[in-house]
Amino acid sequence: MDEILKILRELDWSPLYISLKTGVVATIISFFLGIFAARKVVKAGPRVKAIVDGILTLPMVLPPTVAGFFLLLLFSRRRPLGIFLFENFDIKVVQTWLGCIIAATVIAFPLMYRNARAAFELVDVNLIYAARTLGMGEVEIFWKVAVPAAGPGILSGTILTFARAMGEYGATSMLAGNIPGKTGTISQKIAMVIQDGGYLTAGIWVVIVMLIAFGIVFLMNLVSGKHMKQTKRW
């Protein structure tokens, strides 16, 4: 017990902040990109839909290390895009917090996109037609009618996206590395500590992660609770 307290007192909390920060930023980016992509795909014809949907979902079904590989290929400072970003904008991606965000966004984005898409496809098309005949503009219809009608799906997508982004390990470790205080997320911290045999410290981080994860699932059930009340128990 004393030992746990001692570790807690001396614990470097930076992995928690970095993970939360990464999660929040990646979720915000995924939220808008995901909704935008979902809208485009719902509108598209069946063939375009199949292809684009496949590409956008890939990061979810591939091992994160494969995504990491492609991201390194893109952003490495020995590659055209990496060189371009660094020389023109002084932007470094590899081994930086920006790398954390990009890796987490790429991996978590499909969750947002797929949930938003499923939710949009369930929106009663008559609502959209009605809005059009009432003279509402397309942008107004989208934000005031379609998105609220798809609300529960979009919300659960957002929460899942945040959870996934916060816990990302594979692609992050490849693109951003594990620099304590800079790119060292909780997931990476746990892996590193375990390698040194620090099971107690790892255990503390595991408990923290579990608390956050449970909190997220609890939150999700809470926001979809309105619908749950109406479903029959059996």
Give contact residues for another protein (rule: CB under 8 A): 124, 126-127, 129-137, 144-145, 148-149, 151
Q: Which is nearer to another protein, 143 or 214 (CB)?
A: 143
User: Cβ closer to another protein: 54 or 148?
Assistant: 148
Nearest approach in angstroms of CB 140 to another protein is 9
d(CA 175, CA 102): 9
Q: Which is nearer to another protein, 24 or 118 (CB)?
A: 118
Nearer Cβ to another protein, position 60 or 136? Answer: 136
Least separation, in Å, of the C-beta of 138 and another protein? 8
Closer to another protein at the Cβ: 96 or 158? Answer: 158
DSSP string spanning 145-180? Answer: IIHHHTHHHHHHHHHHHHHHHHH--HHHHHHT---T
CB of 112 to another protein, least distance (A): 20
Long-range contact list for 26-29, CB < 8 A, 24+ apart?
A: 26/101, 26/104, 26/105, 26/108, 26/161, 26/162, 26/165, 26/168, 27/108, 27/112, 27/158, 27/161, 27/162, 27/165, 29/101, 29/105, 29/109
Q: How far is the CB of 162 from another protein (least distance, A)?
A: 23
Tokens encoding 218: 């609890």
Please say whether the beta carbons of 108 and 22 come within 8 A.
no
Placement of tokens 């966004």 in the chain = 105
Name the residue nearer to another protein (CB basis): 88 or 230.
Answer: 230
**Minimum distance from CB of 100 to another protein (Å)?**
35
Q: Closest separation between CB of residue 124 and another protein, Å? A: 7
Please name the residue that has the structure tokens 């017990």.
1
Residues 193, 202: contact at Cβ < 8 Å? yes
